[in-house]
Amino acid sequence: MAYLRSFLIIFLCLFAGKAIQHFSGLAIPGSIIGMLILFFTLAIGAIPAKWAKEGCHLLIRHMALLFVPVGVGLINYLDLISSNTLPILLSTIGSSLVVFIVIGLATHYKEKQ
Per-residue pLDDT reduced to its tens digit, 46-72 = 999 899 888 888 888 888 888 888 888
Pair (113, 77) in one structural domain:
yes
54 shares a domain with 37: yes
Q: Give the model confidence (pLDDT) of 99-113 as tens digits.
A: 999 999 999 998 887
| 8 A C-beta contact, residue 70 and residue 52 | no
* pLDDT tier for residue 97 given thresholds of 50, 70 and 90: very high
> Do 53 and 89 fall within a single domain?
no
57 plus 74 within the same structural domain: no
| Co-location of 47 and 92 in the same domain | no
Are 52 and 38 a contacting pair, CB within 8 Å?
Answer: yes
> What pTM does this model have?
0.63
Same domain, 88 and 113: yes
Q: Tell me the helix, strand and coil percentages in the chain, rounded to 5.
A: 85, 0, 15
Residues 82 and 103 both lie in one domain: yes
- Compute the distance between CA of residue 39 and CA of residue 45 in angstroms, rounded to an integer: 10
Q: How many CB atoms lie within 10 A of CB 5?
A: 15
Containing structural domain, residue 91: 67-113
Q: How many structural domains are present in the chain? A: 2
Instruction: Quote the pLDDT of residue 14.
Output: 94
